[in-house]
Amino acid sequence: MRKALSIAITGLVLLSGCHRKRVAQTPPPPLPAVAPAAPVPAPPTPGSVESGLASWYGHPYHGRASASGEIYDMEQMTAAHRTLPFGTMVRVHDLDNEKSVDVRINDRGPFVDGRIIDLSHAAARAIEMIGPGTARVQLEILSAPTLAGQTYFAVQVGAFRNRDNAERLRRAMEAKYGRARLVERTDTPGLWHVLVGKEPTEDGASALADRIRGEDISVTVAFVVRLDSV
């Protein structure tokens, strides 16, 4: 009797095992897509050249902090450029008198349309442009530092002593182009720069500058600047 009961129970267990419900295996949700990191732009290529108008600056900037954070010494062989990375070495060749001088970029400028570099007093003296004030030059990249992170560029469309005037232009630019801000640089205290856009490449910022020049007759200047702090 006990043996028969044991066999019956074993049969029920086996039968219940055969009819066990299968639990559907739900695959895990896909991981969220991660945007690729923005590429780090290549440093300027040694040997590349740029031509345009040079100017120079001394007082009242002498002894003030430059855009790189260095204290500007007008008797050192340095210069300001709007887009070259700080630490870039540049040979400046005067196209009229054939004199040359090598300078290190440690500041931003010149913020005057049509000019490409602002030399220190010492560098300007070396190519005899103190008297004339400006000179036609060709810049040649000698060396450039390795860039550690993403770089952005914007278009400067104005600079104002009066912040309210700067803010009016900023709002107008933001309404048209989606991004605009005011920047007060340490090297130009009390002067509010209106910057439009935030492009990952200099070419992209140049295209934006061309668009602004073509669409907005109220803007008299539009040139590309590097955003050293974003």
Torsion angle, CA of 178/184/190/196, rounded to 10 degrees? Answer: -30
- CATH code, 152-227: 3.30.70.1070
In this model, does residue 14 exceed pLDDT 60?
Answer: no
In this model, does residue 11 exceed pLDDT 80?
Answer: no
127-139 pLDDT tens trace:
999 999 999 999 9
Mean pLDDT over each residue of the chain, to the nearest integer:
86
Q: What was the pLDDT predicted at 9? A: 45
Contact 139, 83 (CB under 8 A): no
Contact 33, 50 (CB under 8 A): no
pTM of the model: 0.78
In this model, does residue 73 exceed pLDDT 50?
Answer: yes
Span(s) in the chain for CATH 3.30.70.1070: 152-227
Separation CA 181–CA 172 (nearest Å): 11
- CATH code, 49-143: 2.40.40.10
Separation CA 103–CA 107 (nearest Å): 11
Span(s) in the chain for CATH 2.40.40.10: 49-143
Using only C-alpha atoms, what is the Rg of the chain?
A: 31
Separation CA 118–CA 77 (nearest Å): 11
180-208 pLDDT tens trace:
999 988 777 789 999 999 999 999 999 99
